[in-house]
Structure 1
Amino acid sequence: MSACQLDNISPSYGYANLTSLTALDLSYNKFSCELPNWLFNLSNVLHLDLSVSKFTGLLPESLGNLIYLEFVDLSNNSFSGPIPATLGNLSSLTFLDLEKNQLNGTLPESIWQLPNLMASSVASNYLSGVVSEVNFSRLSRLKLLDMAANAFIIDVNSHWIPPFQLQMISIGSCKLGPKLPAWLQTQKSLKYIDISKAGLVDAAPDWFWNFAACVKCIKLSNNAISGDLSNVLLNSSFIDLSSNHFRGQLPLISPHITMYNVANNSFSGPISPSICSVVNIENKLEVMDLSRNNLSGDLPDCWRHWQSLLHLNLGSNILSGKIPNSLDNWHNDEYGSLDYDYGLYLENLMLMTKGRESEYTKNLEYLRAIDLSSNNLSRSIPTEIFLLAKLQSLNLSQNHLIGKISKDIGSMKSLESLDLSRNHLFGEIPSSMSNLSFLSYLNLSYNHFSGAIPLSTQLQSFDALSYIGNPQLCGDPFPKTCVSLNGTPVGKNDDDYGNSSFYMGMGVGFAIGFWVVCGVLFFNRTWRHVYFRFLDDMKDWVYVTTVLKGNRFLQNLRSCNFCK
């Protein structure tokens, strides 16, 4: 009964004989109610999935009566209150998912006594408390542990050796630090690790990068981890080291990497040794964010080797030189393939689009963006950039770019956000920009553009702030009217002048006719008497006609009532 758009879970089901039922799936419905009592009479149920169904209220203690349960998924609802201790009665339980609810309090001790538990998620609730190695002592079969986005304090001995071999651990936003946990290197099967926002203040030890080479997805963002990564090779598929204190030159990356985010660190030096060393190999990189570092030197010209790239963010560095022509190879016709078995590889990716920093997660594979803003780039924008028909966001603001906008910009049919502000661009705004029907954000401010802003519904929908700082621009939305060499306002056509003459002539004609009639009646007594006698006759005719028709209507109405 999954995804059936159900909105009523009738109490009458309690009178049905469901004692033989072993699996119940009511996920992806719209119940918006508390769990019904009859649910806890399903004494033989093994599989219970009530996820994403808008259930509310407390989790009842009677949930622990379903002692044969092996699979429980109550995620993505609005359950509140504490987790009932009776869940410890479910000794056969192997899968428990309570994530994305409004549960609070601490985890009951009985939860840690489930010997068969293999996967447990309580992420994105309001849970708290201290978790130590004692709590994990009986969970030898545990493979997946997700406690992220809560207020847990993970306090284990530095020499602790866990009884389990995890494949996935997510404890982001829990307090884990200040040291990187040494017990991680005992986990030989780990494929996914999220220890972001964990209060880590540590220099990454040498063992960590050897350990990380075997992990498919690593998220260490928003900590204070430090270290020189100049000689480190990153081999994971998904890497998020953003918002830390890493330094040195950019680490080397393998051709297997798909998402690479090292934004907001202290990396310095050129980009080319890191990304141009991987050539003549099929590369899978789709997301590259190197923004907010101290990277310098020219932009490399090896982008032809990264044809799967969807998002490139090099903003807020000290990069110089010209924008390379090899970016014209960056127009893959297919969408990216960002996915992962655990579905948790990407906490967020901050992209500067549409004039603000936005967080992208679920729809990331559908967004194509280039951000080279806030650097020292110079020379003209290569025409090849304006041939990227699939690009949705282009930000080249706050550089030293010169030249004109190519008329080929009209080919960027998918463009939604364009920011070329605070450069030294000049010339007229191409009329082909009126073809950008999806454009919802435009910033051409503080350049040296001149001439008329092209007339189009799209370009005139932006306010003057989109064009401010270009004193030679004229036309809507500016009050300054454009005038051609012969004195004719720019942007008007013959039809406009014909319509204006017509309405002007009509107004003048009406005024003249009105005063001619008034003047004749005022100076000619005979005509005046005739005119007012005509008005009196018309008034009498209207009155008589109205009275006669009114009487006829009333007579007809009385006749109808008599017939009835």
Structure 2
Amino acid sequence: MKSTIMSVSVAILFLELFVVAAMINISFCNGNSYVGCIDSEREALLKLKQDLIDPSNRLASWNTGDGDCCKWAGVFCSNITGHVLQLSLQNPFSYLGGDLREVKAGSNYERSKLGGKVNPSLVDLKHLIHLDLSGNDFEGIQIPKYLGSLENLRYLNLSGAKFAGMIPLQLGNLSNLQYLDLSGTFLSNYDLHVDSLSWLSGLYMLEHLDLSQMNLSKASDWLLVTNSLPSLKVLKLTKCQLCHFPPLLSANFSSLKALHLAINNFDNSLFQYGSWVFGLRNLVFIDLSSNQFQGQIPIGLRNLTSLRHLDLRFNYFNSTTPGWLSKFNDLEFLSVAWNSLQGTISSVGLENLTSIETLDLSGNSKLGGKIPTSFARLCKLTSVDLSLIDLSQDFSQVLDTFSSCGAYALESLDLSICQISGHLTNQLLQFKSLHTLELGHNSLFGPLPPALGELSSLKKLDLSNNMLNGFIPLSLGKLSHLEYLDLSNNKLNASLSEIHFVNLTKLTWFSASGNSLILKFNPNWVPPFQLETLQLRSCHLGPHFPSWLHSQKYLSFLDISNTRITDTIPRWFWNSSHYQELNLSNNQIYGVIPYFDHRPLPYQPFEFGLLDLSNNALSGSIIHLICNGDNKSVIISLKLSKNYFSGDIPDCWMNWPHLQVLNLDDNYFTGNLPISIGTLSSLRSLHLRNNRLAGIFPVSLKNCSSLISLDIGENDFFGSIPTWVGERFPRLLTLNLRSNNFHGSLPVQLCHLTFLQILDVAHNNLSGTIPRCINNFTAMATINSSNQKNAIYYFVTRGNIVFEDASVVTKGLLVEYNSILNLEKFQRILEI
């Protein structure tokens, strides 16, 4: 999205590739007669293909019928000798860019991965100087040792190919190598590692080295070895589990242009022992983001006056913005985001950055003041991120600052959570190049101006959590490049129809939750877009279940809770489910959950999962939902409360190993609690209140030692309260056993629950005395607070926070605290 962020590194890469291409010397000069491939090399390629898995048939041209292997896909030969010089077998598609549909199974990227193994016949290509296998899937096999026999190799790229294990030392024999990329990907579970980088020492011609995502935690010689490579221009060691920066007596990095050390665990030893870094006068790119640096931004950086890219984000720097930044006349990218910078946004140090294109000061909540008027001189700015900075400024003043010359270049403006106020004005029309405008969580008010529809380049528009009101202008339907639109949590109160979306063919994210919008769509409407996220909570969508959702093939995040739906859920909706989050709660949806032939519902291929069907009129058994199929669900939160579900609670919870929140309150479940509940070792909240469950206190719960909240009140459980309740749940905050048939005395072991803040055992058949150690419940005596930051919640997902809730009976009245439970407000809740 921010096209200029990597401009320097991309330029370096293209330069290197140009040099490599020149070295390959594939001759197309006039007068040279064409020479076909060598027979022995053709046979070697056919053997190579034989061991490769090629699901998309990329290597269809590799066959004996076409004897000239130099015409095969990915094969490049010398026109002079006919020898194979280059094998470019990289995945032609990329997962980069964040397009969810492109990383899903079955996408072009997935289908185009080569797999299998690399046949040793590769070493018969003795003249090979360029080998690229990047972006494929070799499923954790080791990098072949015999690659070290390709002595003429100058370019080797195995990045993202899912090799694993120890790096073969034989790669150190490739003395002609100039480009080496063994980096992994953030999406891979495979681990490449080495205990030492000494095998690199002989690669004197190496100019580009990328070992990102490789485990180098044991390679204490990483700096000593890389320092011995005199030709090195680019060094990438991102996310390599590096912690300590060793001392270096003298630096030989005189050729170094780009240094990537992001996402490690470096502390200030870099500045203690790494003074040589500040002497790299030719350095144009440095990335030190996502480490453990503290204190002031090191003054030694001021010596690197050739820098074009400086990235210090996600550290713990707590100084003011340094004035010496004014020396960086060539700086194009600057990010000090998400540190603890203090003071005001001073024009000192920033006003002279006339080459700056990307400026990111976001996440520094202690930084404030108004945007300096001197920013008007930064005429090359294309991306500005000042989110989470206390500007306390009128929006029109902000636009005035950037409108003098920046309006023509500015492509991205993020002012989220900045305390800006005022109207959205027609001043926006000056910013014709804007493709990203983020103004969420501010105090903007008034109507949406029709002029928004004139920002024809917009791809992302976030106006969420403001006080905007009135109609949504039809002109928004003209934004044909729009991919992301968030209008949630405002005071919009009009109708939405097909015409609002007529040209939004690229829309993948749409949120209008928390407004009073009425969605009026023809039942046969087929939207022009394919959404990945749709959030319409509290809008008027019903009474019928929206049939147009049937056309959405990539929908993964869906929230249509509290939208006045009074209908059954069509079977096509269940059968096409592929949701990571699904919230249909607080409607009047009725009917039963049908039987599914294949997978459990909903199928969850990703890490997080939320399924909320609570507060509807669904009935029948839930066995098809819980027990269908053998796949392991990765759902974290399952809420089915306040329905008419009945029968036994199914005994298939071993298929839900990631579950943290289970709420079955207010249904008609009967029988005993199933034994498999005890397999939910990650469970933190269990609510079974107001059902018809029976039996003794569920012994299976003994294994759920992560519980924070347990509510089995208003059932027919009987017997004594076991002593292990006070021993197995050390982090328990709420315990509700109210209105059951428990008898005997209150076990003294409950006093071990020192974090307990709600205890309700009233309306049972308990006898004896109350244990005197009940005064151990000191957590019930905390200071009152209404601050929601103290509320208990379990995880935050895309647009959803799963809060704890509780039903508390005090002075005979039942009070329900849903989604905003702050236990510090109820410090004396003890019902016995």
**Shared fold (TM-score, shorter chain, > 0.5):** yes
Q: Which residue is 2:389 aligned to? A: 101
Structure 1 residues 90 and 331, CA, compared in 2 at 3 Å: closer, same or farther?
farther
Aligned to 2:414: 121
CA distance, structure 2, for counterparts of residue 472 and residue 49 of structure 1: 61
* Counterpart secondary structure, 2:652: helix
CA contact (8 A) 1:296 1:320 kept: yes
1:323 maps onto 2:633 in alignment:
no
Aligned to 1:236: 531
Structure 2, unmatched stretches of 5+, are 1-287, 751-832
CA contact (8 A) 1:95 1:118 kept: yes
Structure 2 CA distance for aligned equivalents of residues 379 and 249 of structure 1: 28
1:8 to 271, 295, 305: 295
- Once the two structures are superposed, the pairs formed by residues 157-236 of structure 1 within 5 Å of their partners are 157-158=449-450, 161-208=453-500, 210-211=502-503, 214-228=506-520, 231=523, 235-236=530-531
AA aligned opposite 2:565: F
Q: Indicate which of 690, 693, 711 corresponds to 1:443.
A: 711
1:422 partnered with 2:690: yes
Contact 2:441 2:465 in 1 (8 A): yes
User: Matched residues in 1 for 2:315 and 2:439: separation?
Assistant: 26
Q: Deviations over 1:207-266 (max 9, x none)?
A: 235556641111111100013568356741111101222221221333421011011221
CA offset at residue 4 of structure 1? 4.3
2:657 aligned residue (382, 389, 395): 389
What letter corresponds to residue 56 of structure 1 in structure 2?
Q
SS at match of 2:376: helix
Query: How is 1:147-162 mapped onto 2 (pairs within 5 angstroms)?
Result: 147-153=439-445, 157-158=449-450, 161-162=453-454
TM-score, with structure 2 as normaliser: 0.50
Question: Match for 1:132 among 422, 425, 449?
Answer: 425
User: Hey, what does 1:534 align to over in structure 2?
Assistant: none
Structure 1 residue 266 and structure 2 residue 564: aligned? yes
Relative to 1, partners in 2 of residues 1:47 and 1:331: Cα closer, same or farther, differing over 3 Å?
A: farther
Q: 2:328 aligns with which of 42, 46, 49?
A: 42
* AA matched with 1:90: L
- Answering whether residue 353 of structure 2 is matched by residue 66 of structure 1, we say yes
Which residue of the other structure, out of 471, 480, 493, is the alignment partner of 2:741? Answer: 471
Counterpart code for 2:721: I
For 1:307, the equivalent position in structure 2 comes to: 603
Q: Which has the larger radius of gyration?
A: 1
Deviation for aligned residue 1:12: 5.4
Q: Is the 8 A contact 1:226 1:247 kept in 2?
A: no
Moved over 6 A (4+): none
Q: Say whether the 8 Å CA contact 1:150–1:174 is kept in structure 2.
A: yes
Q: Is the 8 A contact 1:118 1:143 kept in 2?
A: yes
- CA–CA separation in structure 2 for the residues paired with 1:384 and 1:329: 9
CA distance 1:240–1:233, change in 2 (3 Å): farther
1:298 aligned to which of 592, 601, 605: 592
Evaluate the alpha carbon distance shift between residue 157 and residue 75 of structure 1 in structure 2; reply closer, same or farther with a 3 A threshold. Answer: closer
Does the alignment pair 1:55 with 2:346?
no
Structure 2 equivalent of residue 368 of structure 1: 636
CA distance in structure 2 between the partners assigned to 1:293 and 1:245 by the alignment: 11
Q: String of CA shifts for 1:474-497, please: whole Å, max 9, x gaps.
A: 4654899xxxxxxxxxxxxxxxxx
Instruction: Tell me how far 1:299 sits from its aligned partner.
Output: 3.0
Q: 1:479 to 1:57 in 2, by over 3 A?
A: closer
**Which structure has greater helix proportion?**
1
Partners of 1:122 and 1:474 in 2: CA distance: 61
TM-score (ref. length: structure 1): 0.72
Instruction: Check 1:12–1:51 CA distance in 2 against 1; reply closer, same or farther (3 A cut).
Output: closer
Kindly tell me: are residues 185 and 431 of structure 1, through their superposed partners in 2, closer, same or farther at Cα, counting changes over 3 Å?
same
Q: CA deviation at 1:137?
A: 2.6
SS of 2:496's equivalent in the other structure is: coil
Q: In 2, distance between residues paired with 1:10 and 1:464? A: 45
1:156-197, Cα deviation, whole Å (9 max, x unpaired): 654764143211111112344311122211111111111112
| Cα distance change of structure 1 residues 372 and 387 upon mapping to structure 2, 3 Å threshold | same
Change (3 A) 1:233 1:286: farther
Query: Measured at CA, do residues 4 and 384 of structure 1 come closer, stay the same or move farther in structure 2, by a change above 3 Å?
Result: closer
Q: The residue matched to 2:420 in structure 1 has which SS? A: strand
Distance 1:179 1:463, change over 3 A: closer
1:213 touches 1:236 (CA, 8 Å); kept in 2?
no
**Structure 1 residues 430 and 417: CA distance shift in structure 2, 3 A:** same
Provide the C-alpha distance between the structure 1 equivalents of 2:498 and 2:367, rounded to a whole number of angstroms.
43
Instruction: Report the Cα distance in structure 2 between the residues aligned to 1:228 and 1:273, rounded to whole angstroms.
Output: 23
How many angstroms does 1:449 deviate by?
A: 0.7
Q: How does 1:333-372 map to 2 (within 5 A)?
A: 333=632, 368-372=636-640
User: Which one-letter code corresponds to 1:146 in the other structure?
Assistant: E
Residues 307 and 330 of structure 1 are in contact (CA less than 8 Å); yes or no, is this contact kept in structure 2? no
- Among 373, 381, 390, the alignment partner of 1:85 is 373
Q: Is the 8 A contact 1:11 1:36 kept in 2?
A: no
Q: Given the superposition, is the C-alpha separation of residues 228 and 474 from structure 1 closer, same or farther in structure 2, using an over 3 Å criterion?
A: farther
Which structure has more RCO (C-alpha within 8 Å, separation ≥ 6)? 1
The separation in 1 between residues aligned to 2:694 and 2:330, in whole angstroms, is: 76
Deviations 1:114-141 (CA, angstroms, capped at 9, x unpaired): 11111111111111122322x2233222
Kindly indicate whether the alpha-carbon contact (under 8 Å) linking 2:631 and 2:655 is maintained by their aligned counterparts in 1: no
RMSD: 3.0
Offset of residue 202 of structure 1: 0.9
**CA shift digits 1:21-61 (9 cap, x unpaired):** 33322222222221122222323322211111211111113
Aligned to 2:402: 111
SS class of match (1:96): strand
Counterpart amino acid of 1:470? N
SS in 2 for 1:391: coil
Matched letter for residue 739 of structure 2: G
Identity, % of aligned pairs?
Answer: 25
Shift of 1:90: 0.8
Residue 376 to residue 421, structure 1, CA distance change in 2 (3 Å): same
Between 1:32-41 and 1:154-163, the stretch displaced more is: 154-163
Deviation track 1:285-318 (CA, whole Å, cap 9, x = no partner) reads 1111011112122233347363218221011112
Q: Aligned partners of 1:24, 1:386: CA distance in 2, in Å? A: 49
* Corresponding residue of 1:458: 728
